[in-house]
């Protein structure tokens, strides 16, 4: 990822927080020499340096066990028009841009096909997503035989984080100017 130093986000806590707040990651792998992308909800285990998710057994991505992969997480983004004050100050030498926060995680894909691991993973993901609901649904709400069948239909994926990088290309905070009388106004 091209990342000028002024946009680099070196704080690992901020990077993990973005992943937790925006868990739908784009898992980039290679198949037959071409890039492939799967969009999957991930859990980040910051203290262990691990991402975890699961896929349908029919999804061939889990067969890429051992492959070096990239997972991209995107936070808030949007169009940013040139700042009126900056435009005046620079004689119009400004352009619009796009603001965004993004985290790239590099690691090696490892598949896990253990029912207890899969149950723990889907339970954690479900609990995290459901906790804000008025009546949260839990994996344990479904019949055991149904859950067992569903667990047989998925495969776990774990990615040990070998490198993580973030780019915070966000709109700058409102500028404060002083008036001729010394008061401050938002620019």
pLDDT at 80: 86
pLDDT at 20: 94
CA separation, residue 3 to residues 94, 107, 148, 174 (Å) = 20, 19, 45, 23
Tell me how far apart the terminal alpha carbons of the chain are, to the nearest angstrom: 32
| Residue ranges for the chain with pLDDT beneath 70 | 171-187
Which of 4, 3, 10 has its CA nearest to residue 163? 10
pLDDT at 21: 94
Predicted TM-score of the model (pTM): 0.85
pLDDT at 185: 38
pLDDT at 181: 44
pLDDT at 60: 96
Q: Are 171 and 99 in contact (CB under 8 A)?
A: yes
pLDDT at 171: 54
pLDDT at 49: 95
> Exposed, middle or buried by CB within 10 Å (0-12, 13-18, 19+), for 106?
middle
Q: Which residue has the tokens 């339970």?
A: 123
């Amino acid at each position: 990822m091209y990342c000028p130093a002024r946009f680099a986000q070196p704080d690992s806590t901020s990077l993990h927080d973005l992943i937790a707040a925006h868990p739908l990651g784009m898992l980039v792998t290679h198949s037959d020499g071409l890039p492939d992308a799967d969009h999957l909800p991930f859990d980040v285990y910051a203290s262990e340096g691990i991402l975890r998710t699961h896929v349908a057994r029919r999804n061939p991505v889990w067969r890429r066990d051992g492959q070096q992969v990239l997972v991209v997480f995107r936070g808030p983004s949007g169009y940013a028009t040139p700042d009126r004050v900056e435009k005046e100050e620079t004689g119009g030498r400004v352009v619009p841009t796009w603001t965004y926060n993004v985290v790239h995680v590099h690691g090696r894909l490892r598949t896990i096909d253990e029912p207890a691991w899969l149950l723990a993973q889907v339970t954690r993901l479900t609990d995290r997503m459901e906790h804000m609901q008025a009546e949260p649904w839990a994996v344990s709400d479904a019949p055991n035989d149904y859950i067992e069948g569903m667990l047989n239909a998925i495969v776990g994926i774990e990615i040990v984080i070998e490198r993580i990088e973030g780019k915070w290309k966000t709109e700058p905070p409102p500028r404060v100017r002083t008036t001729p009388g010394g008061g401050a106004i938002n620019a």
